[in-house]
Amino acid sequence: MKIICIGRNYIDHINEMQSAKPKEPIFFLKPDTALLKDNSPLYYPRFTKNLHYELELVVKISKNGKTIQPQFAHKYYQEITLGIDFTARDLQEQCKVKGLPWEIAKSFDHSAAVGTFVSIHQLKDNKNIRFNLKKNQETVQEGSSNQMIFTIDEIIAYISQFMTLKTGDLIFTGTPAGVGPVNIGDRLIATLEDKELLNFEIK
Ligand code: MG
C-alpha cells in the first residue's frame, strides 16, 4: 500500500506557512514503513530538532481505480480517520531552500500516525466533518472538511490521473492552521466529531 499526502489544502495553513495557494492539489508520498498505528508511541527521531504535528483527515481507498472522474470518486472510499503527518520542519525548510524533495522531512519511519477508522456513512454531514487535536489537554488545531480547498473527491480524481489507487491506500488530505512542535513527553489526542480516534505519546 502507499500513503499519499496532500499539501497546502487549507487557506489558514497556507497563510501561516507563507506559501502560495495552489491551482491544483500538491501531493507527495510516504512509504508503508511510515505507518504508526494502534496508538503506539512515536519515538522522537534523532535527525531533527523541530518535529511538528499536522492533523489531517485520512481517507482509506476501498477499491482499485485510475482516472477516476470526480462524480464517481465517492464510490472509492467508505472509511476515514484522523492522522498526523509528522514533519521534520527544520529538514523541510532546508529542502525547500535547496529545491530538493521532502522525503527526509516527511517520509521517515512512523511519520504517518493513523487512528481508528470510522464509516463515512456514520457521519452526520460528509461536507462538514469537524476535527481537532489536543496537545497535553490544550486544543492546538481545529478544522472542518468544509475548509478544504480541494475536496476528497477532487483529490481522488486528481491523484488517479497520475497513479492507480489501490485498495488500502491512504490519502492524508492536508492540515488546517495551528501546526506546531512536539516534544518528548507530549500526549496527542485527536477527535473527529465526538469520537476520540488517536491518543498517543511522544517518547
Ligand atoms: Mg501535511
Dump pLDDT digits (tens) for 97-115.
999 999 999 999 999 999 9
Task: Output the pLDDT for position 72.
Answer: 98
Ligand 1: centre distance to CA 118 (Å): 21
Task: Output the pLDDT for position 17.
Answer: 85
Distance, in Å, from the CA atom of 100 to the CA atom of 149, rounded to the nearest integer, reads: 25
Write the CB contacts of 83 (distance below 8 Å, at least 6 apart in sequence): 55, 56, 57, 58, 112, 113, 114, 115, 170, 172, 198
Ligand 1: centre distance to CA 126 (Å): 21
Q: How far is CA 183 from CA 40, 140, 155, 167, 174, in A?
A: 16, 14, 32, 34, 22
Task: Output the pLDDT for position 19.
Answer: 86
Ligand 1: centre distance to CA 31 (Å): 15
Task: Output the pLDDT for position 20.
Answer: 86
Ligand 1: centre distance to CA 75 (Å): 24
Q: Which domains does the chain show, CATH number per domain? A: 3-201 (3.90.850.10)
Provide the CA 136 distance to its chain's centre, in angstroms: 20
Question: Among the residues of 17-166, which ranges form H helices?
Answer: 89-98, 103-106, 152-162
User: In the numeric block, which cell numbers belong to residue 179?
Assistant: 501546526
What would the pLDDT profile of 27-63 be if each residue is shown by its tens digit?
A: 999 999 999 999 999 999 999 999 999 999 999 999 9
Question: Which residues are found with C-beta within 5 Å of the ion, ligand 1?
Answer: 54, 85, 175
Low-confidence ranges of the chain (pLDDT < 50): none
Task: Output the pLDDT for position 118.
Answer: 97
Task: Output the pLDDT for position 125.
Answer: 85
